[in-house]
Structure 1
C-alpha cells in the first residue's frame, strides 16, 4: 500500500484560448497550469480537476492524450508525470425539494464517461461551457445518471451558508433531496472539521474528504487528505471511500475552522460576530445576519442515531497553508522549493533545523508552528477569511 496526498476539488478558471470556465477563478488557473503546479510545486499524488465537463476542456485533455502528455490509466484516471487526475464536475442542483441551491461533485473514471456526462448535462443547463451551472432536474435523478456512468457522487462544502447541502439546501436531512445510498463521501468545507460534526447522526455512514476548492493556483492543497491506496487511480479512490481492502483515508489535513470564511455568525453589514442568530446586530442594528457554519452544525447535531453507531474517524490535522504564514513571501518560498522540492515535502518531511538552514529562524518557527497547529488565529465569517496572528 502507498500513502498518497490528494486534493479532489480544483477548479479551472480559463480554457487554453482564454474563455472563462469558473468565472470567479483566476485567469492563470488553466488545465495545464494546474497539472504543473499540483505535480511539480505542490507534490500531490492524486487530484480531482473540476469543470472537465466543459467541451473545450475535454478537447484539451484529448489533445494531451494524443501528444502523450497524459496517459489514460487502466484502473481509471489520467496520469500526468507522477500525478493522477480524476476528471470531475461541480453542479448546482435546485429541485422542488430544495430550500436553495446545492453544490455537488461528480467524478468519472474515464474521459469517455465524462464526455457522456457532458452531453447529458448540456440538455439540462443553460451554458455547458461554464462551471457550477444550475441543473434543472431532481438531485436523485442526477445521482442516478452519475452512477450509470460509473461515477462518484459527493456533496460539496456541505455547511457553507450559500449553495450547500446543509447551509442552504435542506431543512434537516440530506434525504430531503438525495438517495443516501448513492452518496460516496461528504466534503466538509473550510469552516468545519471532524470534531465539530461528530454528533450529526446521518453523517456517520460516510467518509469525510477535505479539499481546497481552489479558485487560484496558490490555493491548491490548502486542504487535502492522505489516502492509503495500492496506487493512485479512480478504482482505488472508490475503494478508499468505501473503506475496502485496507484502502482508506488515513488523515485529513485542513484549515483550523476559525480560518474559514463562514465559521462564525456575523452581521452582513459590519461583519461583527452575532451571538443571537435571530438578530438584529447589537452593534449597528442591521437585521441581515449570515449564519455561520458553527451555528448550523449545532442545530444539526441535536438528533442522535438510534443504533448508537459511531464511525472511527482518521485524525483531522489543523494545518495552516504556507500561503497564510506571515512573512513567507515569494522569494523565501522559492528558496524552500529549490531546497526541498515540493510543498508536501516542506509540510511533512523537512525538519525545523533544515528549515532554519534556508530561511530566518523566526520564519522557520512560523512554518513549524503552522504544521503543528500552534498559531494564534482570528476567526473568519461572512465571507472573510480568518487570520493568523502570531505563534502561541
Structure 2
C-alpha cells in the first residue's frame, strides 16, 4: 500500500514546542495533512512514555494505533471514504554533546523502536547516564557511537538515524561541531547506519554532490514542534505498513518499497546560506569565501550554513544524480500559499478559514498539493490558487534563503503577477448562480481547533485599546517593522514605548510568521505583564492564532528556569519560595543564633544592605556566597539554611538562573533556541542582575 510517513516530531515536553501537542491533536492533523504514519517523539521522557502507553495500543505489526476511546472526531469531513488508518511508531531524538579527538561534538540522533518494552529499557539505560526528565529531547554527555551500541544491545530491531545531518550546530556533518564523515562519528558500528535525515535546509540534490553518501537512504521529516507542522517534510512508501517492512524499505530503497521524499524548498530552511542574523547579513558560500568567513558588518565569524558545508565536503557539482537515487518533490504548505494570495499571515483567521474550507471541499492537504487534478481543484478554488499549485508542482518559485537561524521565504508570485490577478477578490470559483446556491447550502464545518485555554478577557475593551494602538506615528512604525536584530527604543514617559513593543510582537507573528512560542517579553510587574498579555491575546485570539508568546516578569521567568532545571540546583521540582516577610523572619532568627554575627539590632536593615548590594553588584553572580559572607556571616548561615531545607528567595530567582546560564553552555543554547525574539519593557530600569 502507498502511504506517507513522518517519523520525527516532538511532544509538549520538549523545549519550544506547542503545549497543545497530544495524541488526539496529532491524529487530527495527520488526517488533515494526509500523513498515515507519524512518530510519537520523545519516548525517553518518563511522563510522555506514560501517555504513550495509556493512549496507544499495538496494531500487531510493530506499529501502534490510538485507542478507540481516544480517537477524536473531526469537525471537517474530508471528502474521502477510504482514509488510511493513522498509525504511530515509537521514536525520539537524543542530543549527544561530548568530546572526541579534542573537539566538542554536538550530534542529534533519531531513534526508532519496535515495542513498548524496548523503549522502556532504553530509557532506563539512558536515565543512568544523564537527565532525561528535563527535556523531551534529552541532552547527554554520551558519544554517538556509544549511544548506538546501547541501542543495539537493547533491541536488534531498533534503528538510529542521524538527524538533520547538515545543521551547523547540532548534527553529524555540521560545520560547527560535526564530523567529516558518518564513519568517523560511529566508527566500528557505522554499518548499522543505513538512513540519513537530510534536514529542512538541504534536499536530495544537494546531498548527491557528496558521493560518500550514495550508500545511504535519504529521508526527510518535519521535526515538528507543533501539530500543524506535521508533514512539511515526509517520506513516501509503497509497502506493507509494518515496522519491519518500513525498516526493510529504508535499508534497501526502491527495491523494497521506499519511493522518495517530500521536501521543503531548501532555501526556506533556517541555515541554508551563511550569515549573521543580528547584522542582517546573508551570503552565499562563494561570497563567504571571499570574506574568509568573516561578517563584513561586525567583523565576527559568520555562521556557515548547510550549502557551505555541502560544498566543502562535495566531490561533484550540483546536478549529479546517483544511479540508485530516488525521486523527491518540493512543496509549499497550503496555508502559506493561501497567505501569500490573501496578503495576510498564515496563522491569521482569514487564512485558516480558507485553508479549512479547501480541505473540507478537496481532501487532505498533501493530496491537494501533490496529486489532485488541477481541474478538480478549479471547481472549489480560484484560478490564482490553481496557478500557484501548478507552479509549486513545477518548482517555479522565488526563494529568499534562510540563514543563521532565520527561516527563508518562498514566494510563488512576483508583486506584478499578484497585481495581474488582483481582479479576483475571492477564492471561490466563478460559477453559475445555481451552482453558487448549491455550494452555499452545502453543510461544511471549517475548523476543529478547540478554543485556547488562555485566560478570559474583556475582548471589546481590549479590542478598543488595540485599535487605538494601531494608530502609530512614523517613528513607531519604523521600530515595529525594523529588521531582525537588537533594537533600542528611547522615548519619554507616555510616548507609547510599550504599545510599540506590543505591535512589534504582533507584526512578527502575523507578517513574518514567527512562532509565538519563540517570543519572550519581560517586564517588571505582574500588572504590566497582564496588560501586555491582554493586548496581544485580544489580537491573536481574533486572528485564530492558537499559540502565545511567553509574557512574564523577571522573577517569574527566573522561577520558570529554576523549576525546569531544579536538579541542577539540588532542589525539589516545586521549590518553596520565601516571601520578603519570611526572609526578614529568618534573618532575625539566624542573627540571634549566630555568635560571631556582631551586634545586629535590626535584621531588616541587614536584609536591606544585602539586597541592595546584590542588586547593584555584577560581580556577585559568579561566586555569590563568598561575597555574601564578606558582607555578614549571617548571610552564610541563612544560605545554608535555605539549602538544607530546599528553600529559595526572590534574590535566588535572579541569581540561580543567571549562574546556570553563565556556566552551562548547553542549557544556555536550549533557551536561546526556545526564545529567539526577546523584548524587555522599561529596559532603562533593569539592574545589574537583570541585565
1:73 Cα deviation from its structure 2 partner: 2.6
| Post-superposition CA distance 1:25-64 (Å, at most 9, x none) | 11122233112211x2112121122102211222112222
The structure 2 residue matched to 1:216, chosen from 226, 231, 234, is: 226
Does the 8 A contact of 1:92 with 1:104 survive in 2? yes
Does 2:18 align with 1:26? yes
Instruction: Flag the 1:294–1:138 CA change in 2: closer, same or farther, 3 A.
Output: same
The CA deviation at 1:244 is 7.2
- Quick one: structure 1 residues 165 and 347, their matched pair in 2 at CA, closer, same or farther if it must change by over 3 Å? same
Change (3 A) 1:333 1:268: closer
Rg larger in structure: 2
Write the distance in 2 (CA, Å) between the matches of 1:125 and 1:175.
Answer: 25
Shift of 1:276: 2.4
Q: Does 1:257 align with 2:262?
A: no
Shift of residue 248 of structure 1? 3.2
1:42 matched to 2:55? The reply is no
Question: Structure 1 residue aligned with 2:42, among 44, 51, 67?
Answer: 51
Q: Determine if the alignment matches structure 1 residue 296 to structure 2 residue 301.
A: no
Which of the pair is proportionally richer in helix?
2
318, 329, 341: which one pairs with 1:317? 329
Once residues 212 and 386 of structure 1 are traced to their aligned partners in structure 2, the CA distance between those partners, rounded to angstroms, is: 16
Deviation at 1:225, TM superposition (A): 1.5
Distance 2:336 2:279 in 1: 24
TM-score, with length taken from structure 1: 0.89
After superposition, the C-alpha distances for 1:285-306 in whole angstroms (9 at most, x for unaligned) are: 33131101101001111499xx
- The verdict on how the C-alpha distance between 1:28 and 1:286 changes in structure 2, with shifts beyond 3 A counting, is farther
Give the secondary structure class of the aligned counterpart of 1:358.
coil
TM alignment of 1:218-237, pairs within 5 A: 218-229=228-239, 231-237=240-246
Any stretches of 5+ residues in structure 2 without a counterpart?
Answer: 72-84, 343-350, 415-691
1:170: Cα distance to partner? 2.9
Name the SS for the 2:403 alignment partner: coil
Aligned-residue offset at 1:245: 8.9
Aligned to 1:177: 185
* Paired position in structure 1 for 2:276: 267
How many Å apart are 1:226 and its aligned residue? 0.7
State the alpha-carbon separation in 1 of the partners of residues 142 and 408 from structure 2: 36
Identify the match of residue 161 of structure 2 among 151, 154, 157.
154
The answer for unaligned runs of 5 or more in structure 1 is 15-20, 65-69
Pairs within 5 Å for 1:1-392? 2-12=1-11, 14=12, 21-38=13-30, 40-64=31-55, 70-80=56-66, 82-97=85-100, 99-128=104-133, 130-148=135-153, 149=155, 150-167=157-174, 168-178=176-186, 179-229=189-239, 231-243=240-252, 246-274=255-283, 275-277=287-289, 278-282=292-296, 284-302=297-315, 310-325=322-337, 326-327=340-341, 329-391=351-413
CA distance 1:352–1:104, shift in 2 (3 Å)? same
Rounded to whole Å, the distance in 2 between the matches of 1:285 and 1:321 is: 36
Q: Given that residues 374 and 391 in structure 1 are in contact (C-alpha distance below 8 angstroms), is that contact kept between their aligned partners in structure 2?
A: no
Moved more, 114-123 or 372-381: 372-381
* Distance in 2 of aligned mates of 1:303 and 1:174: 18
Separation in structure 2 between the aligned mates of residue 136 and residue 156 of structure 1, nearest angstrom: 17
Q: Cα offset for 1:9?
A: 0.8
User: Hey, what's the Cα distance between the residues in 2 that align with 1:134 and 1:127?
Assistant: 8
TM-score, normalised with respect to structure 2:
0.51
1:228-283 CA-partner distances (Å, limit 9, x unpaired):
21x2121111101111793232121101111111111112422322312433323x
**Alpha-carbon spacing, 1:120–1:208, altered in 2? closer, same or farther (3 Å):** same
Matched with 1:17 is none
Distance 2:316 2:355 in 1: 46
Answer 1 or 2: which has greater strand percent.
1
Instruction: Give secondary structure in 1 for the equivalent of 2:367.
Output: helix
**244 and 162 in structure 1: CA distance in 2 versus 1, 3 angstrom threshold:** closer
* Displacement after TM superposition at 1:91 (Å): 0.3
Shift of 1:207: 0.2
Shift of 1:359: 2.5
Equivalence for 1:18: none
Question: Conserved in 2, the CA contact under 8 Å of 1:118 and 1:128?
Answer: no
Deviations 1:98-137 (A, max 9, x none): 5331100011011111111111111122233522222122
Judged with a 3 Å threshold, the aligned counterparts in structure 2 of structure 1 residues 330 and 177 are, in CA distance, closer, same or farther, namely same
Q: Which of 124-133 and 51-60 deviates more?
A: 124-133
Aligned-pair Cα RMSD in Å: 2.2
Q: Is the 8 A contact 2:264 2:332 kept in 1?
A: yes
Query: Which structure's relative contact order is higher, taking Cα pairs within 8 Å and 6+ residues apart?
Result: 1
Three-state SS of the structure 2 residue aligned to 1:9 is: coil
